[in-house]
Amino acid sequence: MTLTGMKKHVSILEQAGLVTTEKIGRVRTCRLGQRRLEEEAAWIEQHRQLWTARFDALDEIVEDLNRKEKANATSQRR
């Protein structure tokens, strides 16, 4: 990776709050930022679990309604 490329990567991580950097002379030191990656992952995981359970339930209802509508359409044609 080029130095310019590396600088871009670090600046994106910095904007996201995942790292903080400090430049002293020619050396820039990076540290893990306040917002930790695990926290971010846990946050998404909690939402994923809630929405998966929710949408699994919706899926069942939708399937049921769809089946009823198809059955009605068939019986009306007879």
Partner 1 sequence: MPQAKEGSSAAMNRTVVERKSDHELVVMRTFDAPAHIVFEAWSKPDLFTRWWVPKSVGMSLVSCNMDVRTGGTYRLVFSHPAFDQPMAFFGTYREVIPNERIVWMNEESDEGAETTVTFEELAGKTRVTFHERYPTKAALEEALAGSAEGLPEQFAQLDALLAGNS
- Contact residues toward partner 1 (CB under 8 A) are 40, 43-44, 46-63, 65-66, 69
CB of 8 to partner 1, least distance (A): 19
> How many Å apart are CA 63 and CA 67, to the nearest integer?
6
CB of 17 to partner 1, least distance (A): 9
Indicate the residue among 2 and 75 with the shorter CB distance to partner 1: 75
CB of 60 to partner 1, least distance (A): 8
The DSSP line for 18-70 is SEEEEEETTEEEEEE-SS-HHHHHHHHHHHHHHHHHHHHHHHHHHHHHHHHHH
